[in-house]
């Protein structure tokens, strides 16, 4: 069975002091659910303090982005080597990076390869806009994003990474995809694409998250879907009680508690 994974993407929220306070408020609850891999993804300046706080626990840290070069004259960027010092995971290709900062599929692929080279586990984000969905292009769009992100990535490497399906129209809007819609894309598009690119064993090994207005009220019905292995959680990850409830619901949906 694939180990469920729930990651909290704090985005540009929480100072270092606020971040450690948030984690302290839910550490005990989350450590009581080791069946689910729980990952905090704070802003870069909060990463070291949160990492030190959870050191030695079952909890993990992820960065929200990285650059593909190991070092150099790239003002404002953070390299995979720097990320590896504190993190086990890294979010790559989030829709906000693509939309607001012009990140292209080719750059996503470079970041995936660079992260893997340093032993990081990428959480690769894919997803369509409402316009694309209304045009009936969800399947083609998401498939193309998956294919582009995994160029020159081996089957073994792919089996160990995470793909997060996040329909852009559902992020931060309160309008989540229905569990059936999320399952269809995660299974019949993302997992099926991995099977086509590699083989069925690789497709069965890779973990696929759903993200987009996941909250304690809808988490269990989403996570009970067989091809959804967890969630990439935005706003609800900024509230200790809500995030812990989502992790607990994930464990319950998978029959682990």
Beta bridge pairs of residue 97 = none
Neighbours of 39 (CB within 10 A): 25
Active site residue 135: no
Q: Looking up tokens 């995971």, which residue turns up? A: 89
Cα 230 from Cα 232, distance rounded (Å): 7
Residues 6+ apart with CB under 8 A from 175: 169, 213
Cα 218 from Cα 233, distance rounded (Å): 12
Cα 12 from Cα 196, distance rounded (Å): 36
Closest CA to 207 of 39, 78, 58, 52: 39
Query: Of the residues 128, 166, 183, 220, which is catalytic?
Result: 166
Residue 131 burial class via C-beta count within 10 angstroms: exposed 0-12, middle 13-18, buried 19 and up: exposed
Cα 9 from Cα 50, distance rounded (Å): 13
Query: Of the residues 94, 103, 128, 157, which is catalytic?
Result: 94
Active site residue 94: yes
Annotated catalytic residues are: 94, 166
């Amino acid at each position: 069975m694939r180990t469920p994974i729930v990651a909290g993407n704090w985005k540009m929220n929480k100072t270092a002091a606020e971040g450690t306070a948030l984690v302290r408020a839910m550490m005990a609850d989350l450590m009581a659910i080791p069946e689910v891999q729980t990952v905090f993804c704070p802003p870069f300046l909060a990463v070291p303090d949160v990492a030190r706080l959870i050191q030695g626990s079952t909890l993990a840290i992820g960065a929200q982005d990285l650059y593909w070069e190991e070092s150099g004259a790239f003002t404002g960027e953070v390299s995979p080597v720097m990320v590896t010092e504190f993190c086990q995971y890294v979010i790559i290709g989030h829709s906000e990076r693509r939309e607001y900062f012009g990140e292209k599929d080719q750059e996503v692929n470079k970041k995936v390869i660079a992260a893997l080279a340093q032993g990081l586990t990428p959480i690769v984000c894919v997803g369509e806009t409402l316009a694309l969905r209304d045009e009936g292009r969800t399947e083609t769009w998401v498939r193309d994003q998956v294919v582009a992100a995994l160029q020159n990535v081996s089957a073994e490497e792919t089996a160990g990474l995470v793909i997060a399906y996040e329909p852009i129209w559902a992020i931060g809007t309160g309008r989540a995809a229905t569990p059936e819609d999320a399952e269809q894309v995660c299974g019949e598009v993302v997992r099926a694409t991995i099977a086509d690119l590699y083989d069925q064993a690789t497709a069965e090994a890779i973990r696929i998250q759903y993200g987009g207005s996941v909250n304690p009220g809808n988490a269990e019905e989403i996570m009970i879907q067989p091809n959804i292995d967890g969630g990439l959680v935005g706003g609800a990850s900024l509230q200790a009680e809500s995030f812990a409830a989502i992790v607990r619901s994930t464990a319950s949906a998978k029959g682990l508690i």
